[in-house]
């Protein structure tokens, strides 16, 4: 019998991944492009750091989502 919390774990991880990707694209990449366009390198650096952190969170969320639904080595 499957653990009912595995579906919840996968769903939460998928939501985290999508939110992190939205943050990465909106706050990270688009703000970095506009900061470079206007010549503000400090803002571009912060935007790139935001992008990098959001992408790391997205990859970690994707990994945990895979482990939530793994029958051989489940996280739960």
Q: List pLDDT tens digits, range 27-67.
A: 788 888 888 889 888 888 888 888 888 889 989 988 888 88
pLDDT over threshold 70, residue 16: yes
Instruction: Indicate whether 60 belongs to any domain.
Output: yes
Instruction: Indicate whether 75 belongs to any domain.
Output: no
Residue 30 near residue 51, CB atoms below 8 Å: no
Residue 60 domain boundaries: 21-68
Instruction: Indicate whether 73 belongs to any domain.
Output: no
> How many domains does the chain fold into?
1
Cα separation, 35 vs 15, in Å, equals 28
Instruction: Indicate whether 31 belongs to any domain.
Output: yes
Cα separation, 76 vs 73, in Å, equals 9
Residue with tokens 């019998």: 1
């Amino acid at each position: 019998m499957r653990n009912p919390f595995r579906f919840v774990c996968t769903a939460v991880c998928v939501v985290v991944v999508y939110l992190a990707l939205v943050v990465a694209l909106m706050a990270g990449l688009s703000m970095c492009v506009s900061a470079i366009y206007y010549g503000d390198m400090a803002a571009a650096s912060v935007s790139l750091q935001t992008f990098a952190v959001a992408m790391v969170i997205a990859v970690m969320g994707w990994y945990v989502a895979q482990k939530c639904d793994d029958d051989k080595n489940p996280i739960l």
